[in-house]
Amino acid sequence: MAEQLDIFTGLQEKQSTYSDDDIQVLEGLVAVRKRPGMYIGTTSSAGLHHLVWEIVDNSVDEHLAKHASKIDVIIHRDHSITVMDNGRGIPTGLHKTGIPTPQVVFTILHAGGKFGGNGYKKSGGLHGVGASVTNALSEWLEVEIYRDGRIHKQRFEYWVDDAGKEHVGAPVTGLQVLGNTNKTGTKVTFKPDKRVFQSSIIINYDPLYERLQEIAFLNSGLKITLKDERTDKQETFQYDGGASHFVKFLNEDKTVLHDVIHFQMEKDDVEVELAFQYNDGYTETIASFVNSIPTRGGGTHETGFKTAYTRIMNEYARKAGVLKEKDKNLEGTELREGMMTVINIKMGDVEFVGQTKDQLGSAIARTIVDACVSEKMSVYLEENPQVAQLLLRKAVQAAKARDAARKAREEVRSGKKGKSQSLSMGGKLTPAQSKDFTKNELFIVEGDSAGGSAKQGRDSKYQAILPLKGKPMNPEKAKLADIMKNDEYRYIINAIGAGAGADFELDECNYSKIIIMTDADMDGAHIQVLLLTFFYRYMKPLIDANKVYIAKPPLYKITKKSTKANAPFQYAFSDEEMADAVKKLGNVDIQRYKGLGEMNPNQLWETTMDPETRLMYLVQIDDAAKAERRVSTLMGDKVDPRKRWIVDNVDFTEIDE
């Protein structure tokens, strides 16, 4: 394989070619339109934004190949999107299949220069299915190519002929020559088709902002511009510090303990860049990537880092006399408490684990990351003894705190036996009758009155009820040992039955779903945030396993005025639904639910607890780094970042008086 230029050390690369024959066709564009979920996951907002990433990934590939230094993304007023780079430009000659190469790229699934040959050795686009999917799910798409001194253009559209036959992403022009140019690159403009994305084709600015900023962090020197013509918002991202700058950004709202530690290595055509920094918190966050694509499931690169770091730190601890011969080694979770880490791998022939492709499986990544940490961390510790002692002291304190938390947890767990069960639960939990944990659900309910209605209205076979007396403490500002002493959290930990913190065992969980059910007001929202912070910090595998939900109770009951006992009625979950119901039913009575306690057991069952009719939100973490930063901003000690976030994100004109 060709050697790649290390963008941090300036090593000379061997040039790879990028021609028409480097575009490989693996599969025809079939059934994308009819089954979009198979290709972009969903036709919701996430799937809509996936269309943008398919094009952006191609531009990032040009940067990874050392040919592009700039990417522009523009959201137009008509909700079309432009992505433009200054790379080499898509080849414009005839492909070996006999049609123009751009037409191959945008009409053939999995066609592109990233599946072998000389086109790309390192590609983020391995994660996707190609620009053709963006074309297939768009109303129209235009590509302009600046290459070999000329400007080429081609347009594709979705249309239906007189015979009723669909033409998906079909070329409506040939590859035209518009004129001459002295620049290079590719410009793609497309408009998502509202017939596919029926909920909305409105691209949200914030997800683009966050992901493009992330890409800029991971690709030192790459300049990315985002412009929204609908609002005149514009932002430029360019960072020379790579992963080091990324870690500083993620720790911005925290109290840090030392300067960022930053390592790089290139070996066997694999580039490793990692950076980490400790803060005074109690949790670790690892944001890992391969070719700028997030690996939310971790993988071999994370394993290599953790294994090597634990080994090197324990070796140094013994050498420095922090650990005596009789002392047991410090555990990895203790050594990484409060650590913020970014790992970015750039490599070819990427292997993923499973269908979701969010977990790296390439064995070589573990080997090279292990080698990088082993070599460079050993040197760092010798050259920075004060930081080394600080990190070890923090780890020793973490070990002591973990022992204290374990003792407190054992006291809670001992309550599962005999009479102490009712004491440990405070008589609050109303358990499900079934022992089938794959079907059981735990409702954590705000207030005793709502808890009473939930107990009466529930399916007693599979649904357990745990009412909360009030707001629990802020878990972001507490150690696990303190959490274990808090009644509300202790009840939750004992009910779920899987422990907490580093000792949490998902397989021991007593429920398939944990459902937070609070009033639809500010206090209810605050309780939701506190509980979600608790689950994120101390039971994160529950969220990763899609077991945490937020119940969505209705805001209104609209009943048609009638002398009959069974008058038609409808529940509404928003003001818009309420207005629609009024139009539908005519002369009505409107009941506004101010709290769960206002519903009788039957109403609570049919609106919020019945699996056939209820509305719930699944809690998911799409981006670990973003989630970490958001939790720290909203729930941490620093007030100024929280004020800035509120000013930037809350529209006080829409808050009810």
Q: Is the pLDDT of residue 435 over 60?
A: yes
User: Strands 185-192, 588-592: parallel, antiparallel or unpaired by DSSP?
Assistant: unpaired
Q: How many CB atoms lie within 10 A of CB 618?
A: 11
Q: What confidence category does residue 62 fall into, taking pLDDT thresholds of 50, 70 and 90?
A: very high
- Specify the higher pLDDT residue, 499 or 85: 85
User: What tokens were used for 573?
Assistant: 């979950």
- The region of weakest confidence among 125-134, 188-197, 360-369 is 125-134
Which amino acid belongs to residue 97? T
Dihedral angle computed from the Cα positions of residues 101, 106, 111 and 115, in that order, rounded to the nearest 10 degrees = 100
Cβ contacts of 604-610, under 8 Å, gap ≥ 24: 604/450, 604/453, 604/454, 604/457, 604/553, 605/457, 605/458, 607/553, 607/554, 607/571, 608/517, 608/551, 608/552, 608/553, 608/554, 609/443, 609/454, 609/457, 609/458, 609/459, 609/463, 609/551
Average pLDDT over residues 516-521: 85
Please state the length of the chain: 657
Average pLDDT over residues 75-81: 96
Q: How many CB atoms lie within 10 A of CB 119?
A: 22
Q: How many CB atoms lie within 10 A of CB 579?
A: 13
Q: How many CA atoms lie within 13 A of 630 on its CB side?
A: 13
pLDDT at site 276: 98
Which amino acid belongs to residue 638? K
Alpha-carbon distance of 142 to 135, in angstroms, equals: 9
Tens digit of pLDDT for each residue in 284-295? 899 999 998 899
What sign does the dihedral 534-539-544-546 (CA atoms) show? negative
- Specify the higher pLDDT residue, 265 or 569: 265
Reported in sequence order, the residue ranges of 473-543 that DSSP labels E, i.e. its strands, are: 513-517
- The region of weakest confidence among 130-134, 159-163, 206-210, 415-419 is 415-419
Average pLDDT over the chain, rounded to whole?
Answer: 83
Query: Residue 187 forms beta bridges with which residues?
Result: 84, 144
Which active-site residues does the annotation give? 446, 519, 521, 523
Query: Residue 90 forms beta bridges with which residues?
Result: none
Average pLDDT over residues 385-402: 92
Residue 651, helix vs strand vs coil: coil
- The region of weakest confidence among 355-359, 568-572, 615-619 is 355-359
Q: In what order do the strands lie in the sheet with 569-572?
A: 569-572, 556-560, 588-592
Q: Is the pLDDT of residue 649 over 80?
A: no
Q: How many CB atoms lie within 10 A of CB 485?
A: 16
Q: How many CA atoms lie within 13 A of 150 on its CB side?
A: 11
Portion of the chain with pLDDT greater than 90, in percent: 47
State the helix-helix crossing angle for 300-319 and 385-413, rounded to 10 degrees: 110
What is 242-401's CATH topology?
Ribosomal Protein S5; domain 2 (3.30.230)
In the block, tokens 């009625």 appear at 569
Whole-angstrom distance between the N-terminal and C-terminal Cα of the chain? 65
Q: Is the pLDDT of residue 86 over 70?
A: yes
Question: Hey, which of 336-350, 576-590, 620-634 has the most confident mean pLDDT?
Answer: 336-350
User: What tokens were used for 147?
Assistant: 């290459």
Residue in 216, 7, 26 with CA at minimum distance from that of residue 113: 26
Helix (H) or strand (E) holding 329: none
Alpha-carbon distance of 520 to 503, in angstroms, equals: 34
Alpha-carbon distance of 425 to 117, in angstroms, equals: 63
Reported in sequence order, the residue ranges of 229-294 that DSSP labels E, i.e. its strands, are: 233-237, 261-267, 270-278, 285-290, 293-294
pLDDT at site 248: 95
- Helix ranges (H only) for 336-447 are 363-383, 385-413, 420-425
Portion of the chain with pLDDT greater than 70, in percent: 82
Cα-trace Rg, the chain: 28
Options 3.90.550.10, 3.40.50.300, 3.40.50.670, 1.20.1730.10; CATH for 419-553+617-622 is: 3.40.50.670
Residues 502 and 538: beta-carbon distance below 8 Å: no
- The region of weakest confidence among 212-226, 353-367, 610-624, 633-647 is 633-647
Dihedral angle computed from the Cα positions of residues 401, 402, 405 and 411, in that order, rounded to the nearest 10 degrees = -130
C-alpha distances out from residue 306 to 93, 246, 274, Å: 48, 19, 12
Q: Is the pLDDT of residue 497 over 70?
A: yes
Q: What confidence category does residue 313 fall into, taking pLDDT thresholds of 50, 70 and 90?
A: very high
Backbone angles phi, psi at 198, to 5 degrees: -70, -25
Q: What is the DSSP string of 346-360?
A: E-SS--BSSSS--SB
Average pLDDT over residues 266-293: 92
User: Strands 463-468, 441-446: parallel, antiparallel or unpaired by DSSP?
Assistant: parallel
Residue in 154, 147, 162, 164 with CA at minimum distance from that of residue 188: 154
Q: Is the pLDDT of residue 2 over 50?
A: no
Tens digit of pLDDT for each residue in 145-180? 999 999 999 999 999 889 988 888 999 999 999 999
Question: Which CATH number is associated with domain 20-237?
Answer: 3.30.565.10
Average pLDDT over residues 536-559: 89
User: What tokens were used for 426?
Assistant: 């405070």
* Domain boundaries along the sequence of the chain: 20-237, 242-401, 419-553+617-622, 558-592
- Specify the higher pLDDT residue, 495 or 599: 495
Q: Is the pLDDT of residue 421 over 60?
A: no
